[in-house]
Amino acid sequence: MDSAVLELAGLRKSFGALKATDDVSLTLRPGEIHALIGPNGAGKTTLMAQISGGLRPDAGVIRFRGQDVTGLSVAQRARLGLGRSFQISSLIPEYSARRNVMLALQAREGHPYRFLWPVRRDRGLTEPARAILDRVGLGPRASVPAGELAHGERRLLEIAMALALEPACFLLDEPMAGMGTEGVGRLIAFLRELKAQAPILLVEHDMDAVFALADRVSVLVYGRIIASGTVAEIRANPEVRRAYLGDEETTA
Amino acid sequence: MAEMRREYILNAVIVAALFAVPLWALMAGEPFIITLATRVALLALAAVGLNIALGLGGMVSFGHALYFGIGGYAAGILAHHAFSGTPVAFGIPGTNQMLVIWAVAMGLSGLVALAVGALSLRTSGIFFIMITLAFAQMGFFFTLSWPAYGGEDGLPIFVRNQFPGVNTMLPWELFLLSFAVLLAALGLFAVLRAARFGAALMAIRQNPDRAAAVGISPFGVKLTAFVISGMLTGLAGAMMADLTRFTSPAMMAWTMSGELIVIILLGGVGRLCGPVVGAAILVGFETLFGGWTEHWQLWLGLVLLGAVLFARGGVIGLLAGREGHG
Amino acid sequence: MSLALMLEQLLNGVQFGLMLFLMSAGLTLVFGVMGLINLAHGSLYMIGAFLCAAVAGATGNFWLGLMAGIAAAAAAGALIEVTILRRLYARDHLDQVLATFALILILSEGVRIIFGPFPLYLNVPDMLRGSVDLGITQYSRYRLALIGFGIAVAVGLWLLISRTRLGIQIRAGESDREMIAALGVNIRWLYTVVFALGAALAGMAGALVGAIQSVQVGMGEPVLILAFVVIVIGGIGSIKGAMVGALLVGVIDTMGRFLLPRAFATFMEPSQAMGVGAALASMLIYVLMALVLILRPKGLFPAHG
């Protein structure tokens, strides 16, 4: 357990009477995909925001590569190597796909206080950006402003930006959302490859994708983790079936 | 890409025109027009400063007149003491050397912008607009009621300050000096915008959460841009005081802050030569319509309203299309 | 310094604050409900003052003038809302600032064209001339009436917002713009009514203050900036905040100008103390605003949560 890349211990967050996060503890180990699932309103987004730094937990500790990061800002955590994608596409709309990736690259390389050399001619940014866009399959669309990309392409650009940060772990927030079956298939293959580079904490609604990818699954209901285990264990867990999967199987 | 080339050509035409018109006036013996062109150049310089904060960083400062006025008073006060031979304070003498005055103007504006920015950037939206206005109003009322340097009467500069190798009393030479400084500022704007700093700043304007998520702290980048912005506007204020040989609280009035925003909008927000076009339109309006009707501000208001409602990109947006960030 | 003088200055501060409240209430409603920064609010104040002075001058009746001023400001407000401002609700703050800055230029020059370049003078109505004996001091009857008037309007506004159907719609609009649509309210109509109401209050303030100042082009902008200070201190969108902010600004500004030069005179030579005191006093409310924003970035009474 000491080797956990990301470790949450006893996180709590309330909004008034609503316990959005209720004593959540979980770990992300090297080389694994840990999926976080749960019905709408279970508190997945709130939990992700606490991990990435947008929200402060009321209690509990977040350790990243052994360091307590609970008090750090979003930008500070990102610099330490927490690579986050967003549930709703969050890009720099006027920048081309290439410039978006270059922004992530320059952020990884260091502080933004470089005033002279134009980024356009910065081979340390343009070359890796091209390689990353090719890798996610956006190469031909590199010059298109992010705001004009199709929905699925924006999700891929999100992944590309996370890749550019060369993070020590990926926080992927519903990367499959709004993608067609073909896109989901390609993304599953890609994420399987990606976990060798850094472990992935995956929040996802697409159960087929989760069961195809995850090494471990944690189930969040009303802010609590009600079960945690391998895909087979979660499938077999009666509490999970009742609280969550049961609904899906009867309705599906 | 065609749009970018069009903007390059347009920028070249704009800069060439700003040089050609006073050159023609010099030949034709119309010193008044040279002075007008100098005014355009200096207002544009002030607006280039604001354009860094507002155009690149999306910070709607409604108080940049503060830095314009600080620059103006730096020139006025130093020249005043140089003229009277009295020390400014603690035995520090005044000076009539523009280079020293500019350094002081930029230093003071930068320090004040650092303080104002550090406090104001904690807020956003309308609160940011209003708190920057409030700081400028503090400066305005301070200069208005502080009796030592003329109060509401303002402070004259009896003899225009000196610049090595330039006869600043000749309109053409003063224009050349102002034009050169404007070019340098435009160069600085272009370099900043193209560099990593500009990439981070413009990204923060469009999506601060995303910028933070890749590891760029918005606060520091915005504050740095705000300070650079204030320094350039302060420099413009010092030079404007020398052009008019007068500095007064009016330089810090809220209408001055409004005019700087108007200049940027008319030319094109965030566009390199937007401030030059906007300043030319404003000064042109004042001069042409001002001679023809005393109600020229009515027409300026109508044009401005039309620009906001129907031509968001300003003149440069109309002529060169949308900006590209390839 | 005497107690009488203090009391007089305090009353002046309250009177000033109440007039600022009339200005600020409309400004804060318009921002709270429509999300619009309206720099042209000061022009409506000016229009109210000019119409009042013109009509009172022509008829010899101040009250007719006051009605005319309020009606003209409301009509002008409704007109610019319907023709121009309506297009700006969805725009960003920069566009709103610029468009309403343009409106200031247009309305100021319009008034100059109609009424000429010289200030108008508006006389205090006969029944409010002279002063009232308050026991320890004499105080202007008109200013005292302004205080009463301001309180009456504030109470009326409070009743309007808390007790009437229109008030319910306004409050709904402030907390949730989608909700008013769900309530079946005609939003366009509501927006025009809210704007005209705010304009009427501004016109009223202009007309009332016009009798103790000169009525001239440009009179609206200093008041406008103070009204912005008021609503930013009070919390934008909150009528209660506008009231508290207006009284704070009115009293602190008036008392600061009165007390600071005297305070400095206790340890400085008098002529210098006057200068320093006056300089600091004129900055005082902006210092207050900056302090409030630094400590409470959304004002004293934030309207939303």
More confident call, C70 vs C291: C70
Residue B102 domain-assigned?
yes
Overall average pLDDT of the C191-197 stretch: 91
Six token digits for residue A15: 């909004």
More confident call, B219 vs A1: B219
Q: What is the pLDDT of residue A252?
A: 35
**Residue in C27, C38, C101 to test binding to B, most B beta-carbons within 10 Å:** C101
DSSP annotation string for C15-63: HHHHHHHHHHHHHHHHHHHH----TTHHHHHHHHHHHHHHHHHHHS-HH
Domains of chain A: total: 2
Looking at the structure, tell me whether residues A176 and A74 fall in a common domain.
yes
Residue B325 domain-assigned?
no
pLDDT-derived band of residue C188, with 50, 70 and 90 as boundaries? Answer: confident
Query: In this predicted model, what pLDDT tens digit does every residue of A158-217 receive, in sequence order?
Result: 888 888 888 889 888 888 887 778 888 888 888 888 888 889 999 988 888 888 889 999
**CB pairs A-B closer than 8 Å:** 110
CATH of the domain at B97: 1.10.3470
Residue A252 domain-assigned?
yes
Q: Is the pLDDT of residue A249 over 80?
A: no
The boundaries of the domain holding residue B91 are 2-320
Residue B188 domain-assigned?
yes
Q: What is the pLDDT of residue B286?
A: 85
CATH of the domain at A71: 3.40.50.300
Looking at the structure, tell me whether residues A213 and A244 fall in a common domain.
yes
Looking at the structure, tell me whether residues A238 and A195 fall in a common domain.
yes
B44 backbone φψ class: left, alpha, beta (φ>0; ψ -120 to 50):
alpha
pLDDT-derived band of residue C44, with 50, 70 and 90 as boundaries? Answer: very high
**Residue in B4, B191, B196 to test binding to A, most A beta-carbons within 10 Å:** B196
Chain C neighbors of B255, CB-CB under 8 A: 221
Q: What is the pLDDT of residue C177?
A: 64
Q: Give the domain-ending residue among A144, A166, A188.
A: A166
Looking at the structure, tell me whether residues A106 and A77 fall in a common domain.
no
Overall average pLDDT of the C61-81 stretch: 93
Task: Nearest by CB to B195, from A73, A99, A118: name it.
Answer: A118
Q: What is the pLDDT of residue B204?
A: 94
- Residue type for position B190: A
**Residue in B131, B142, B144, B281 to test binding to C, most C beta-carbons within 10 Å:** B131
Q: What is the pLDDT of residue A9?
A: 92
Looking at the structure, tell me whether residues A104 and A152 fall in a common domain.
yes
Looking at the structure, tell me whether residues A143 and A99 fall in a common domain.
yes
Q: What is the pLDDT of residue C204?
A: 94
Overall average pLDDT of the C102-119 stretch: 90
pTM: 0.88
A179 backbone φψ class: left, alpha, beta (φ>0; ψ -120 to 50):
beta
List the one residue out of C249, C251, C230, C248 whose CA is nearest residue C10: C251
List the one residue out of B47, B92, B79, B85 whose CA is nearest residue B65: B47
Q: At B287, is the secondary structure helix, strand, or coil? A: helix
More confident call, A195 vs C71: C71
Looking at the structure, tell me whether residues A252 and A198 fall in a common domain.
yes
Per-residue pLDDT of chain B (326 residues; tens, 9 = 90+): 566 788 888 888 898 888 889 889 888 888 889 999 999 999 999 999 999 999 999 999 999 999 999 999 999 999 988 888 888 888 788 888 889 999 999 999 999 999 999 989 988 888 899 889 989 998 998 898 887 888 888 898 888 888 888 888 888 999 999 999 999 999 999 999 999 999 999 999 999 888 888 889 899 999 999 999 999 999 999 999 999 989 999 999 999 999 999 999 988 888 999 899 999 999 988 888 877 777 888 888 998 898 888 877 788 888 887 776 65
Looking at the structure, tell me whether residues A181 and A250 fall in a common domain.
yes
Domains of chain B: total: 1
Q: Can chain C be said to touch chain A, i.e. do they have 3 or more Cβ pairs within 8 angstroms?
A: no
Residue B326 domain-assigned?
no
Residue A86 domain-assigned?
no
| Neighboring chains of A (3 or more beta-carbon pairs < 8 A) | B
Distance from CA of A138 to the nearest CA of B (A): 15
Six token digits for residue B177: 């000096």
What is this model's ipTM? 0.85
Q: Give the domain-ending residue among A166, A194, A214.
A: A166
- Cβ–Cβ < 8 Å for A106, B202: no
Looking at the structure, tell me whether residues A133 and A175 fall in a common domain.
no
Residue B180 domain-assigned?
yes
Please report the domains of chain C, with CATH numbers, ordered by start residue: 3-295 (1.10.3470)
Q: What is the pLDDT of residue A42?
A: 82
Half-sphere exposure of A48 (CA within 13 A, CB side): 26
C170: Cβ contacts below 8 Å, ≥ 6 apart: C29, C33, C161, C190, C194
Q: What is the pLDDT of residue C127?
A: 81
Lowest mean pLDDT among A13-27, B287-301, C37-51: B287-301
Looking at the structure, tell me whether residues A205 and A250 fall in a common domain.
yes
Looking at the structure, tell me whether residues A147 and A99 fall in a common domain.
yes
A contact residues 177-206, partner B, Cβ 8 Å cutoff? none
Overall average pLDDT of the C139-154 stretch: 88
The boundaries of the domain holding residue A225 are 1-81+169-252
Looking at the structure, tell me whether residues A156 and A45 fall in a common domain.
no
Q: Is the pLDDT of residue C182 over 90?
A: no
Inter-chain touch A120–B210, beta carbons under 8 Å:
no
Residue B307 domain-assigned?
yes
Q: What is the pLDDT of residue B264?
A: 93
Task: Nearest by CB to B298, from C105, C278, C287: name it.
Answer: C105
Residue C301 phi, psi dihedral angles, 5° rounding: -125, 75
Q: Is the pLDDT of residue C185 over 80?
A: no
Inter-chain touch B298–C94, beta carbons under 8 Å:
no
Q: Give the domain-ending residue among A143, A166, A189.
A: A166
Q: What is the pLDDT of residue B243?
A: 92
Q: What is the pLDDT of residue B2?
A: 64
Q: What is the pLDDT of residue C304?
A: 55
Inter-chain touch A103–B199, beta carbons under 8 Å:
yes
Task: Nearest by CB to A93, from B198, B206, B323: name it.
Answer: B206
More confident call, A118 vs A41: A118
- Cβ–Cβ < 8 Å for B199, B56: no
Residue B260 domain-assigned?
yes
